[in-house]
Amino acid sequence: DIQMTQSPFTLSASVGDRVTITCRASQSISRWLAWYQQKPGKAPKLLIYRASSLENGVPSRFSGSGSGTEFTLTISSLQPDDFAAYYCQQYNDYPWTFGQGTKVEIK
Amino acid sequence: EVQLSESGGGLVQPGGSLRLSCAASGFTFSSYAMSWVRQAPGKGLEWVSDISGGGGGTYYADSVKGRFIIFRDYSKSTLYLQMNSLRAEDTAVYYCAKGGTSRAAFDFWGRGTLVTVSS
């Protein structure tokens, strides 16, 4: 199975900060990587697919980059609505696997 | 508008069975892969199972293989997950999610249904 490792586990930041979350795959997944945002009690929401493609309706302050085994999600200017958990997911090979999640908290 | 609505969750004893349903609308159901993803209380996301648009391909996480069965009813545009031999560690919110016509991320999710396995 492909292991997905996110860092950090928790991130404390302020409104307006630039935030970067890293996701590493245990083997190459090309660009078959997605990022999701999840708020408490809600379903996950797709932000980024194919490593860097922005899902329709997602604000442009979100961006993704990387290929192979190293990927990043960047929020260029953190907004109050962005405090949530973020998960990466590989869909290169079954079983699909998620990172353990990164919680973005208010500093 | 794409809508996914899960039902069928509840409290079940260890060793028991439960069938989850996910009613889909707003897209051509037969064209898209569908999935089940679960989330144990306070934990992260875990992919459970996939079924191809045509239903010919099914895939399972090792943790549920041999116990869970995924299937779909095209006449009802509904996805199912038959869960047998349930264990305490199957306790989670179960989400259905829409995939793509080929390899794709989950672009729409239902609100989830809670399954609690306890005596």
Residues 56-85 of A with CB under 8 A from B: none
Distance from C-alpha of B30 to C-alpha of B53, rounded to nearest angstrom: 5
Beta-bridge partners for B68: B83
Greatest CA span in chain A, whole angstroms? Answer: 38
Mean pLDDT throughout B28-46?
A: 97
Beta-bridge partners for B92: B115
Distance from C-alpha of A50 to C-alpha of B84, rounded to nearest angstrom: 35
Burial class (CB in 10 A: 0-12, 13-18, 19+), A34: buried
Distance from C-alpha of B18 to C-alpha of B85, rounded to nearest angstrom: 9
CA distance B111 to chain A (A): 5
Strands B10-12 and A85-90: unpaired
Name every residue whose Cβ is closer than 8 Å to that of residue B66 and which is 6 or more positions away in sequence.
none
At residue A8, does pLDDT exceed 90? yes
Say how many C-beta atoms besides its own lie within 10 A of residue A100's C-beta: 17
The string of pLDDT tens digits covering residues A24-79 is: 999 999 999 999 999 999 999 999 999 999 999 999 999 999 999 999 999 999 99
The string of pLDDT tens digits covering residues B18-33 is: 999 999 999 999 999 9
Is A34–B105 a contact, with Cβ atoms under 8 angstroms apart?
A: yes
**Residue B29: φ, ψ to 5°:** -55, -40
* Spatial CA neighbour of B60 closest among B84, B41, B31: B84
Write down the pLDDT at residue B89: 98
Is B109–A44 a contact, with Cβ atoms under 8 angstroms apart?
A: yes
